[in-house]
Amino acid sequence: MYYHGNWIRTVDDAAGSQDSFSAAFTEGLGRSVTMDGQLQLQGTQTAADGTCKLLFQLQGEGAAGTVEAVIIPVSRPSSRRPRTTLCISSQVGCAQNCQFCFTGRMGLQGNLSTAQIVEQVVEARRHVAVHQARVASGALPPAQQIAPITNVVFMGMGEPLHNFEAVRRSIAILCHPQGLQLSHNKVSVSTVGLIPEIRALVATCSAQLAVSLHATTDEVRDWIAPVNRRYPLEHLMGTLEELFPKHAAIRQRHGRHVLFEYVMLQGVNDSLEDARRLLVMTQDIECKFNLIGFNPHPGTRFRPSPPERIAAFGDILRSAGAVCTVRESRGDDGMAACGQLGNVKAASGVAPLLKPPLQFAEALATAPSR
């Protein structure tokens, strides 16, 4: 099923080719394993910008729920050629209850298996291959061509490091020469800050680490990312300074950095003072910054920071020599953008909204829902 360009769904699909299996092997295999990891594609939804959301249904005894993955075509003037990023999920729902995240409103319904994580990548590559064939045949215009998937990010539903072993094993398959042949530096794992698992990931895997920071004070982070109550900023920053020190002699041994993701929430974490604190907090960490415009969803109390505020925030970081990019919002008209994945209505119990610090209550009072 991993053979590039031959994304078979069953062993029977290989019949008649040099990669076919013997009848005895096929019969024995069919009784003991599945080819889809008990994760079946239920449908797709394409946004106006070409972003495509894949909806999967969990199968098997006792299985329940759906998960989503997102195919994101990327074409920038600065890039030599178009590329495609795939955002995949590691859990059904999420236990972290980040207040601005639609998935976090679901609570945790279950962990995905290694096979179910890998199957999202296989199905996405299958989808792109079919799409490319339709363009080649003239059934779709050349303007709708999608480049092959080269980057995979664990930034979909769930906290990847809360399902550590399955995620670690799936990365090994994605990057294996006889697996899906991705480069480790093209696989990114995002975490809200589970410190023991961060240490384990860095020690055992070469994938890129991304930390969802989103605040520069414990007061704000305790509220919008409650994991901070277990692992406060001082502990988190100290750990990252140890693992990604900004000292050339040490850095040259592994050449790695951490990517800080920062969702910009109007009146909550987007002040210029926040930008200055962010520089101080990370001054001894080899890092880059990715500012993310907040994508509203039904029931949210937050508002996205205005573009000019995001630009001013980024200018402060860049003026100090930091590498800072602004993530373009993709797929938000199809609920496929960052922070919009999931089905809160299908959750057995919606995660609680936490009381904001008093000084932010007014900023949220008029926040629209969409």
**Residues acting as catalytic residues:** 68, 338
How many whole angstroms separate alpha carbon 201 and alpha carbon 191?
11
CA distances from 355 to 110, 150, 246, 277, 324 (A): 26, 41, 37, 24, 31
Q: Which tokens sit at 191?
A: 């975490």
> Containing H/E element for 111?
strand 108-111
Tell me 245's DSSP state: B
How many whole angstroms separate alpha carbon 338 and alpha carbon 87?
9
How many whole angstroms separate alpha carbon 233 and alpha carbon 215?
9
Beta bridge partner(s), residue 58: 39
Tell me 90's DSSP state: S
Q: Quick one: 177 exposed, middle or buried, by C-beta within 10 A (0-12, 13-18, 19+)?
A: exposed
Burial 126-156 (b: 16+ CB within 10 A, else e): bbbbebbeeeeeeeeeeeebbeebebbbbbb
How many whole angstroms separate alpha carbon 318 and alpha carbon 40?
44
How many whole angstroms separate alpha carbon 258 and alpha carbon 30?
43
Collapsed DSSP state (helix, strand, coil) of residue 110: strand
CA distances from 260 to 212, 286, 347 (A): 6, 10, 30
Q: Quick one: 260 exposed, middle or buried, by C-beta within 10 A (0-12, 13-18, 19+)?
A: buried
Cβ atoms of 310 and 291 within 8 Å: the answer is yes
Cβ atoms of 259 and 288 within 8 Å: the answer is yes
What does DSSP say about strands 187-191 and 149-154: parallel, antiparallel, or unpaired? parallel
